[in-house]
Amino acid sequence: MSLERRQLPKWSELKPLLRTKPVELNATERRLSRAFTINDLRSIARRRTPRSVFDYTDGAAEQEVSLYRARQLFHNLEFNPSILRDVGELDTTTSMLGRPSALPFAFAPTGFTRMMNHEGERAVARVAQRHGIPYALSTLGTTSIEDVAAAAPTGRNWFQLYVWRDRAAGEDLMKRAKAAGYEALILTVDAPVAGARLRDLRNGFSIPPALTLKTIADGALHPSWWINLLTTPPLTFASLHAWQGTVADLMNSLFDPTMTIADLDWVRAFWDGPLILKGIQTVDDARRVVDAGADAVVLSNHGGRQLDRAPVPLRLLPDVVAAVGDRAEIWLDTGIMSGADIVAAQALGAKATMVGRAYLYGLMAGGERGVDRAAEILTKEIRRTMQLLGVRTVGELEPRHVNLP
């Protein structure tokens, strides 16, 4: 039996322990305040969005091995911290295309963003502008080039292009992006044909989402999503007219599978600004596109949505940096789910990174405020990881800070 004396707690002792939190009346804020990681945002997104839309965003190609392996490599790597370095002051700025970016990541181009949440590309562009990072509008975006520029007039807006069968349509997009003041063009080169997004096929997912018995039943669980979809302008996309069919059919009908490296000359004829080549997956190809004049290269397997069992970009990174890092900026995407992932990529030599799903989960979880929350989470994680590693600037991150398994 304990010999300690017991007593009834006094009110004066209890009072300081009681902490009443102000009640958050805004339901979105309340929801988002419970998200501490990108995975938390993903869980909220899953509950808030019809199954087929969530799966279109969350899913990848075939067996989804490319995405799984990319995330696993981030998960399994080991950090080597340095201790007793003054990390009181921190600078997360990096340079992208020779200009400062407040954080070492940009928002990657993603198609059909207004379908995930009706606030769509404008919201993403505004958040990027607020956080001082670039945003790339996709060829398959659902807001026009001009409307995105108007929403984020002082943002670093980039335009992502696929090589079109109809060259005149591609030329028109480049001219419009230039006229609207876009800073850079991203040419995505890993999609000569669409990857097999099996979740979309199984869900019977089409653009725009069709009203079938299945989607109506699912829609009953997500009424606000449907109301928002049906009461905002139809889901045509940035560049084109409406489409009725799967995303894969759409990509196959629009994009040119015969494109070669010679097509860079075509792009160069209409775009004289910075050119970023996205979807590079071997050292040889990195060399080829840098020889052909790319200013930056994005090591990416399209978030695992194209070739399955593709190289893991993080694994490829050190060799590409060694081969061409002195001639072009080497960036990386695919599988980034935390700020620590971004820090690891920087340490292994990436000049910057791009995130896709990370901000889309935020968008689905809570529109513009959700994208903000995603950016806040990544920022906090980047800062904390840098401090725990004992570095004060992004430039101090080195390969010695990371062991790859």
Ligand X SMILES: Cc1cc2nc3c(=O)[nH]c(=O)nc-3n(C[C@H](O)[C@H](O)[C@H](O)COP(=O)(O)O)c2cc1C
Query: Which residue of the set 118, 222, 302, 401 is catalytic?
Result: 302
CA distance 169 to 184: 18
Q: Which of 73, 97, 124, 140 forms a contact with ligand X (CB under 6 A)?
A: 140
The CA-to-CA distance between both ends of the chain, in Å, stands at: 52
Which CB, 110 or 203, lies closer to ligand X? 110
The site map against ligand X for 251-280 (x = CB under 6 A) is ---------------------------x--
Whether 335 contacts 299, CB under 8 Å: no
Whether 148 contacts 241, CB under 8 Å: no
Q: Which of 219, 356, 362, 367 forms a contact with ligand X (CB under 6 A)?
A: 356
- Site for ligand X contains 160 (CB under 6 A): yes
Which CB, 201 or 322, lies closer to ligand X? 201
The H-or-E segment that residue 157 falls in is strand 157-161
Which CB, 354 or 386, lies closer to ligand X? 354
Which CB, 357 or 369, lies closer to ligand X? 357
Scanning 81-89, 207-215, 300-308, 317-325 for contacts with ligand X by CB under 6 A, the matching segment is 300-308
Distances (CA, A) of 65 to 60, 297, 298, 301, 404: 8, 23, 20, 11, 19
Active site residue 131: no
Which CB, 68 or 266, lies closer to ligand X? 68
User: Whole-number minimum distance, CB 311 to ligand X, in Å?
Assistant: 14
The position carrying tokens 């990096």 is 94
Produce one character per residue of 129-168: b if its CB has 16 or more CB atoms within 10 Å, e if not: bebebbbbbbbbbbbbbebbbebbeebbbbbbbbbbeeee
- Site for ligand X contains 203 (CB under 6 A): no
Which 82-121 residues touch ligand X, going by CB under 6 A? 108-111
Distances (CA, A) of 143 to 244, 293, 369: 18, 30, 18
CA distance 302 to 317: 15
Q: What is the SS3 assignment for 105? A: strand
Q: Which of 170, 195, 325, 335 forms a contact with ligand X (CB under 6 A)?
A: 335
User: Contact positions toward ligand X, by CB under 6 A?
Assistant: 57, 108-111, 138, 140, 160, 188, 278, 300, 302-303, 305, 333-336, 355-358, 360
What amino acid positions are annotated as catalytic residues? 302
